[in-house]
Chains A and B, each alone.
Chain A
Amino acid sequence: MNDSDNIHTGAHDSVDLVTMILSAIADVAPELEPELADLDHDVDFWTELQLDSMDHLSVMTRLADQTGVEIAERDYPRLTTVAALRDFLAENRS
């Protein structure tokens, strides 16, 4: 968030989306919050953080609510990393 030049660019959106994704995870699993800052955005975080199917649904529901993006079940398998989720939300956000 030191990119003050990028306020109106996609980079800023990406930072917003990452923040949104991480806070959705923190909402669902508050005890994981300390770990989130160090979370590698390219690992399967559902497995890494031991999130279960109910956590998964809760995180996806929050993200869908906040972005207005419909996330279909068939998209789930490729949305396993923070980076993939960020890109998916960015592409589909109106």
Chain B
Amino acid sequence: MSDTDTFDYAMPSLGADMDEGRVIEWRIAPGDTVHRGDLIAVVETEKSDIDIEIWHDGIVEEFLVDVGQLVDVGTPIARLRAVGAGAETAPVTARPHESGPAAPASAPASLRQPAPAPASTPDDRVPASPLARRLAAEQGIDLHAVSGSGPGGAVTEADVVASASAQAGGGAEAPEAVPAAPPAGPRRSADTMRSLIAERMTTANREIPHYYLSRDLDVGALEGWLAERNESRPIAERILPAACFIRAVALAAARHRELNGFWIGDRFEPAESVNVAMAISLRRGGLVTPHIERADERSLDEVMAALGELVTAARTGNLRASWMTGATITITHLGDSGADLVHGVISPPQVALVGFGRSRDRAWVVDGEVVVRPVVTTTLAADHRATDGAVGSRFVATLAQHIDHPEDLL
């Protein structure tokens, strides 16, 4: 039981609406050496098939579940042997063969162990930011059980939040108050996804005092600049307006950090990085919100490539687990569906959601003359506990500035 050389990888929770899943394909075999970030299996959930990643180096010893077997979140699914000095960093694990109600929901980044932590390094040996450490203490989270995404594998506050949210029953988008799903329910129907979204959004609306700001943006400069740029580029390198919106939101969020982070307990915790989630609707119903990590630090081309990857993965059922937790702000872009304006619902524990409507020609006044310009209405839904309208308004102004100067988005 306390064989610290081996560790188990548990069925991760990939969203608030997941309490069970099945491995439909192993991408590894016993004897394989795996490294942090490697894809190890494809897991089928109600929403989608998701590629799951391993968070620690190791050698695969054995599979603990069969392909196709439906198991609860938190159930160990594979046993690995730590490599090298791995005992220092190897996650401590759920007990072999333990499953069912006792196993906490486990994020991909958090192979959780019921407290107390067994023989392992003390918390101060886990590289973590001071804020992450404090948050973990407040939330009763064992830092050993959280996989760090910071420099050198350091645990960041976003990792802790993701882990906390997962423990509470879902991914980063999950309200903490959502009751954990029953440990062993029947296989979900598509209707269940609807009811889970209903539950989450109800909680968000009940607990978050939203305020809304909007602004009409003249996107003539942006569209003209994109058309010219795309003209000279092969089709695979063309940029969509949505990528520009993501960059503009990321840059604005990086400047107005009060809107980029998490409301935890009774206070706002700014995030260290800007991870922009994009709401992507699924044609069979519902939506997913994978994120683009550090979108403020990436080029427009990189953001466009990442967006393409996310949308394709969402639509074809190949989402990666790491995309599903840790978002710090979310965008909903209803431009393609015909709506002019969206007043969105924030995904807790985030504190802001930015909406974009469709581009339509409008009468617009430029230098005292009425001209026809393509206009997009953007909205900010923000958590009034975390910020006031003045902050939101400055955010919207910065956003507008970036849309006016698309070359700055590169």
B59 touches A (CB below 8 Å): no
B202 touches A (CB below 8 Å): no
B67 touches A (CB below 8 Å): no
- Contact among A29, A50, A54 for B307, CB-based, below 8 A: A54
* A-B residue pairs in contact (CB < 8 Å), sample of 8: A28-B315, A53-B335, A54-B308, A54-B312, A57-B235, A58-B311, A65-B236, A73-B230
With A52-B336, A54-B308: A60-B283 Cβ-Cβ less than 8 Å: no
Among B274-295, those with CB < 8 Å from A are 283-284
Interface size range of chain B in the complex:
20 to 34
Interface string of B306-319 (1 = CB under 8 A from A): 01100110011100
Minimum CB distance partner of A71 in chain B: B235
A contacts with B, residue count (CB < 8 A): 21
B236 to chain A, nearest CB (A): 5
Task: Beyond the given A60-B235, A73-B231, please list 8 additional residue pairs across the A-B interface where CB-CB is below 8 A.
Answer: A28-B312, A28-B315, A30-B316, A53-B241, A54-B307, A57-B238, A71-B235, A73-B230
B238 proximity list for chain A (CB < 8 A): 57, 73
B240 touches A (CB below 8 Å): yes
A28 to chain B, nearest CB (A): 7
A40 touches B (CB below 8 Å): no
Interface string of A1-40 (1 = CB under 8 A from B): 0000000000000000000000000001111100000000
- Contact among B227, B230, B235, B242 for A64, CB-based, below 8 A: B235
B residues contacting A by CB (< 8 A) are: 227, 230-231, 234-236, 238, 240-242, 283-284, 307-308, 311-312, 315-317, 335-337
A65 to B316, CA, bound (A): 20
- Whether the Cβ atoms of A29 and B283 lie closer than 8 Å is yes
B261 to chain A, nearest CB (A): 28
- Whether the Cβ atoms of A29 and B315 lie closer than 8 Å is yes
With A31-B284, A32-B283, A73-B227: A54-B242 Cβ-Cβ less than 8 Å: yes
A55 to B308, CA, bound (A): 9
Minimum CB distance partner of A52 in chain B: B336
Secondary structure type dominating chain B contacts? helix
Closest 10 CB pairs of A and B: A52-B336, A54-B311, A64-B235, A61-B236, A61-B235, A73-B230, A31-B283, A53-B336, A53-B240, A31-B284
Minimum CB distance partner of B241 in chain A: A53
A residues contacting B by CB (< 8 A) are: 28-32, 50, 52-55, 57-58, 60-61, 64-65, 70-74
A30 to B317, CA, bound (A): 10
A60 proximity list for chain B (CB < 8 A): 235
A72 to chain B, nearest CB (A): 7
Minimum CB distance partner of B284 in chain A: A31
Most buried by A among B236, B241, B242, B307: B236
B362 to chain A, nearest CB (A): 20
A64 to B230, CA, bound (A): 15
Minimum CB distance partner of B335 in chain A: A53
B229 to chain A, nearest CB (A): 10
Most buried by B among A29, A52, A64: A52
- Contact among A57, A65, A71, A74 for B240, CB-based, below 8 A: A57
A50 proximity list for chain B (CB < 8 A): 283, 337
A55 to B336, CA, bound (A): 11
A58 to B270, CA, bound (A): 36
B232 to chain A, nearest CB (A): 10
B312 proximity list for chain A (CB < 8 A): 28, 54, 58
B335 to chain A, nearest CB (A): 8
A51 to B238, CA, bound (A): 18
